[in-house]
């Protein structure tokens, strides 16, 4: 294992007692992208850089991305396949290196072109997964996504050696963004990490997105760590926590309180990295300055939070996640085949997911105590493990109410937390 890669940087920072914080940042203009990376590098925090790609590149509509580059139309991210390599090298020149690794974030079920483009400019860190970048978010059949991700992992793994240790992060811990019970998030994250490993990747991070209840989230991250320790030998791995991925608070104090809780979740659970969200999140794509403020705030909260991880096992979240993972692994020696069978048989079943390859029998709800729970487990192997409240018909208003639960809770003014934020701000 070498010292130059994305995973090694995060490990060193963790060893030195720092949480690595990272924005989700991408602009179509090379000049603005470079300025964003520089500002991230120079923030008062231990940071890694992000190049988030645009939606056209994500869905493989390279013609539209190219047209936007030619016409100078602003996109919601950096079109790395459509900019010539020399342009992206200029964006990265003197910025990217062992002291400031840069990850390409995209969201593609067919990332071969993206991986080719990022390796062509000397990058080797990305993220996604055969399930999490397919099922909730697009139209690509799961079978094709598994094949695309197999080829992509193997292509990236071919960079190993000669000082490179390519890194992949699972997006499985963020499936749906919100209202997905943590055990399923943990299971998909672990399974995608195993998928990466079986296709030759040896530096991996596993994601988990903050949900509705801090205690349940802490249990989930502990379960994730426990399962990775068990299933990922000879692998450099770490956990990345995402600040809440659903409807974000609209007030400044609410947005900062929620981000602060995400930083606390990351540090207390012993996690190594945090993807931040900003005050602008509820309205539009944030500016560079808003991202820097979020990075510095999260770093300040992290610096004053002690590491107090829970025991990995012995929780309901662990029991459910382990049952889901084992239920898939026993289906086939080939993990890609096992994942396809699992979804076809409903052994993995994402609630409220519109994709035709998802069984669609499962349903979730927010319990009175704030924890995410199952209203229906469908055919998932959770009988006798999960507490299930029989499903009721959900109205549009009730769904919106659930989707807004975190926003509402954090927008409510809490003087004590607001004071804490004021003293933490640089």
- Sketch the per residue contact string, 96 through 115, with other proteins: x for CB under 8 A, - otherwise: -----------x--------
353 scored as a contact of other proteins (CB under 8 A): yes
Of 176 and 227, the one with the shorter C-beta distance to other proteins is 176
In this structure, how many other beta carbons lie within 10 angstroms of the beta carbon of residue 283? 10
173 scored as a contact of other proteins (CB under 8 A): no
Contact pick of 1, 158, 289, 400 for other proteins (by CB under 8 A) = 400
Q: Which range in 112-120, 200-208, 215-223, 395-403 contacts other proteins by CB under 8 A? A: 395-403
Contact pick of 251, 394, 414, 418 for other proteins (by CB under 8 A) = 394
CB 71 within 8 A of CB 63: no
Q: What is the dihedral of CA 168, 327, 135, 22, to 10 degrees?
A: -30
Contact pick of 115, 137, 149, 248 for other proteins (by CB under 8 A) = 137
139 scored as a contact of other proteins (CB under 8 A): yes
CB 190 within 8 A of CB 196: no
User: Could you tell me the smallest distance in angstroms from the CB atom of residue 106 to other proteins?
Assistant: 11
Q: Which range in 170-178, 180-188, 225-233, 336-344 contacts other proteins by CB under 8 A? A: 170-178
Q: Which range in 80-88, 172-180, 234-242, 266-274 contacts other proteins by CB under 8 A? A: 172-180
* ∠ Cα 214 220 221 (to 5°): 95
Contact pick of 4, 122, 177, 370 for other proteins (by CB under 8 A) = 177
56 scored as a contact of other proteins (CB under 8 A): yes
Contact pick of 157, 319, 403, 420 for other proteins (by CB under 8 A) = 403
289 scored as a contact of other proteins (CB under 8 A): no
203 scored as a contact of other proteins (CB under 8 A): no
285 scored as a contact of other proteins (CB under 8 A): yes
CA 341 to chain centre: 24
Q: HSE on the CB side for 10, CA within 13 Å?
A: 30
Of 103 and 358, the one with the shorter C-beta distance to other proteins is 358
User: Could you tell me the smallest distance in angstroms from the CB atom of residue 81 to other proteins?
Assistant: 14
Q: Is 12 exposed, middle or buried (0-12, 13-18, 19+ CB in 10 A)?
A: middle
Q: Which range in 147-155, 184-192, 278-286, 416-424 contacts other proteins by CB under 8 A? A: 278-286
- In whole angstroms, give the CA distance from residue 312 to residue 222: 4
352 scored as a contact of other proteins (CB under 8 A): yes
Of 56 and 208, the one with the shorter C-beta distance to other proteins is 56
283 scored as a contact of other proteins (CB under 8 A): yes
Contact pick of 277, 363, 371, 407 for other proteins (by CB under 8 A) = 363
CB 202 within 8 A of CB 236: yes
73 scored as a contact of other proteins (CB under 8 A): yes
Cβ-Cβ contacts under 8 Å for 260 (sequence gap 6 or more): 297, 298, 301, 417, 420, 421, 424
- In whole angstroms, give the CA distance from residue 64 to residue 61: 6
Contact pick of 52, 178, 203, 291 for other proteins (by CB under 8 A) = 178
User: Could you tell me the smallest distance in angstroms from the CB atom of residue 279 to other proteins?
Assistant: 14
61 scored as a contact of other proteins (CB under 8 A): yes
75 scored as a contact of other proteins (CB under 8 A): yes
Q: Which residues bind other proteins (CB under 8 A)?
A: 54-56, 58-59, 61, 64, 73-76, 107, 136-139, 176-178, 246, 283-285, 352-356, 360, 363, 393-396, 399-400, 403
């Amino acid at each position: 294992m070498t010292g130059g890669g994305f995973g090694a940087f995060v490990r060193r920072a963790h060893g030195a007692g720092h949480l690595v914080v990272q924005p989700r940042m991408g602009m179509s203009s090379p000049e603005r992208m470079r300025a964003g990376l520089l500002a991230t590098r120079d923030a008062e925090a231990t940071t890694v850089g992000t190049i988030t790609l645009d939606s056209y590149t994500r869905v493989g509509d390279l013609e539209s991305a190219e047209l936007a580059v030619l016409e100078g139309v602003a996109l919601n991210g950096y079109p790395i396949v459509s900019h010539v390599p020399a342009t992206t090298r200029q964006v990265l020149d003197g910025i990217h290196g062992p002291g400031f690794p840069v990850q390409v974030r995209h969201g593609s079920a067919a990332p071969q072109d993206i991986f080719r483009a990022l390796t062509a400019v000397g990058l080797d860190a990305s993220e996604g997964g055969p399930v999490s970048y397919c099922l909730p978010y697009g139209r690509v059949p799961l079978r094709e996504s598994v094949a695309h991700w197999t080829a992509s992992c193997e292509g990236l793994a071919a960079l190993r050696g000669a000082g490179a240790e390519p890194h992949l992060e699972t997006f499985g811990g963020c499936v749906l963004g919100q209202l997905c019970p943590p055990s399923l998030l943990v299971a998909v994250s672990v399974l995608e990490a195993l998928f990466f490993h079986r296709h030759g990747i040896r530096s991996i991070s596993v994601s988990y997105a903050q949900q509705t209840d801090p205690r349940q989230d802490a249990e989930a991250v502990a379960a994730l760590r426990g399962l990775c320790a068990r299933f990922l030998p000879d692998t450099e791995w770490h956990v990345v926590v995402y600040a809440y991925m659903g409807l974000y608070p609209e007030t400044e104090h609410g947005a900062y309180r929620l981000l602060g809780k995400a930083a606390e979740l990351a540090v207390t659970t012993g996690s190594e990295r945090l993807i931040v969200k900003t005050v602008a999140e509820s309205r539009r794509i944030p500016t560079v300055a808003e991202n820097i403020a979020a990075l510095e705030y999260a770093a300040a909260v992290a610096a004053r939070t002690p590491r107090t991880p829970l025991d990995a096992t012995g929780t309901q979240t662990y029991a459910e996640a382990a049952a889901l993972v084992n239920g898939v692994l026993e289906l086939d020696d080939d993990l890609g085949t096992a994942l396809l069978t699992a979804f076809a048989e409903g052994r993995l079943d994402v609630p409220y997911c519109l994709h035709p390859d998802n069984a669609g029998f499962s349903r979730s709800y927010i319990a009175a105590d704030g924890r995410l729970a199952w209203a229906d487990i469908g055919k998932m192997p959770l009988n006798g493990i999960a507490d299930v409240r029989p499903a009721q018909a959900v109205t549009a208003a009730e769904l919106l109410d659930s989707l807004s639960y975190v926003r509402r809770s954090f927008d409510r003014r809490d003087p004590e937390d607001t004071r804490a934020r004021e003293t933490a701000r640089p």
